[in-house]
Structure 1
């Protein structure tokens, strides 16, 4: 149990490690739901940028009439720093660092060293083993059962889904709390067991890789493939446009991991490797399967 919670069941103070686009979105979700939020970034300059990123999203919520209270009131509940020690009073800390096992393991160990014994931990991984990450936390705290997966989707403010990933050692209490937190954020939980790619990444990557192979083979253009899925199957975004949003480098990493775990059907096509090698990473670089320049 945390020392205090909001009436909604959310921990009163939530930490987010990483203030990039995803981390800022996670911080925004908890902030507008009434929690105090502490975001920790790598250095003071990154922390300053993260604070502005979060507050821009809070302002956007206010502009849409989706914010209870004022922007200033929400801002007063936001702390942004470059020191893990500031997580000490958090009831829940979520890591939102790059999708790399080494980086996430080190990040979670660093958080585990400073939080209290009753704090819950969560990983925002989209595909990596929650059990392996929980084991890393257990090395520090002796409590691997206090970690689960909370896989948010990009962009967080617009997405209605959070994937709750249950590990082999996840405590019964956390199995109940995590979906309740998601509901309190106004989103829908999908509860999955710790399997490679979970549900969303495994299905999403499978479709995206096949779409890439079709482009590679000259079967159809990226635009026509995406239109087939948005108009024919009512997907809100086509698989190649979505790959550009997620990042081709991120998709490549996930595909390589899934290929190791589940077999050659997830082997990344050469077109994906070539684009990543060329620096065409999607929206963030200005070019991916589409040109954003």
Structure 2
């Protein structure tokens, strides 16, 4: 039986999503909690996620799936609701399961996704710095020109090879479709970057943000961002901004009838070693 899990977490104390020996990760904590609650042998579950977030990155709306033995959990919705509550009772408070339910036929948290949307938050003036939000907002010492950043960001939208903004992984493609990249100030004045793509490669969002921040400071021209993209290799002038300003905000899936087809299409054009992050 495949279950869909919707969850959120504060990534501050985690070394990212993916399990790493001797380190605390979201995948390890969630897998351990599920194993404990379902009373099944350790090592018998594999939790697959929509976006493998890096160390320090947060998620407001992460999605995962896990295959469990049919006899380990009742199908009844009320019992699955209690399963979510019991899992939360085992997890630390920086991870919360919002919902656990039967996955639709053909659902794959990673490959069925149409796109992922992240937000990056920057406080670029002393009056905007809120100590209560220090774990999710980057403090920046210079004023940033949001209009210039939007001009630069617009030149990066579309289907491209984003090798200049990705940490290389053996056998993994860096071709992505960037669907949205823009900057707006919220009601408090915080500058928020909205970044949406079919998938992201390792460190891509933080490198994209670092690139347009250099434009927003006036240190680089709008045309420079395009030059970085077409260079197809890491540019030393691009700073990968800190992880804590980044939050996964949404993952979108097609209608249930299209889930399996989407998963097959996505898997066919990616290598088995690649994962969005």
Give the TM-score, by structure 2 length.
0.27
Which has the larger share of strand? Answer: 2
Structure with larger RCO (C-alpha < 8 A, sep 6+): 2
Which has the larger share of helix? Answer: 1
